[in-house]
Amino acid sequence: MLKNAFWGGIAAGMLVGIGGTVFLSCENRVAGAVLFSVALICICIMGFYLYTGKIGMFIEAPTKKLAAALPIGLLGNAIGAALMGLAASVIKPALIEKAVASCSTKLEGGLLVGFLAAIFCGVLMYAAVKTYALKGTLVGIIFCIPTFILCGFEHSVADVYYFTVAAMGGVNIASSIIFILVAVAGNTIGGWLLPLLTRLGKGKEKHEGQ
């Protein structure tokens, strides 16, 4: 599981970076947000390891193996997204200016805004992945991903990509890392919300049936 979390995490991070690249490349934000979905579609179908898609499982079935795999998967995600960010800044240097503008706005918004925005992204990520797991349909992904992007919610792995590209344009690295860590915390809490509410609902029904 740990090997899959790391190497599958790098692959997932690279795909998220590709999604970020197409989003920055599109003049139309809606088109870019929809095309970003290709990242999670490929991750789910190919079985790669994305932290924001896995974290909710810890509430559903907490195990020591999963607890160990999650941070390793997140590290892999960060490596893959950062590598894609470095590559994109070389292949498409015009994206640097766009990334700087986007990331500067994120930093100016403050950590609290970023944290809250990351929570709601986590909710949508869990919903997208869980819908695919339960029904085998991509509908949840195709709608949830553009929704979190157009709402301005924060996805920590995508932020690694954006801030890596923005760093090539002079955005402060220390501030970027702090923002990303706050986004990780928000994504984690958001990813836990729906499964927690589901468990609470089932627990109440069980109690009422006794």
What does the alpha-carbon distance between residue 182 and residue 186 come to, in Å, rounded to a whole number? Answer: 6
- Give the structural domain span for 161: 2-209
Question: In the prediction, which pLDDT does 205 show?
Answer: 57
Rounded Cα distance, 14 and 79, in Å: 8
Output the domain CATH number for residue 156.
1.20.1080.10
Coil, strand or helix at 110: coil
53 CB burial (10 A radius; 0-12, 13-18, 19+) = buried
Residues 80-103 have pLDDT tens digits of: 999 999 999 999 999 999 999 999
Tell me the pLDDT band of 202, cut-offs 50, 70 and 90. Answer: confident
* Count of the separate structural domains present in the chain: 1
Q: What does pTM read for this prediction? A: 0.94
Tell me if 95 sits within 8 A of 76, measured CB to CB: no
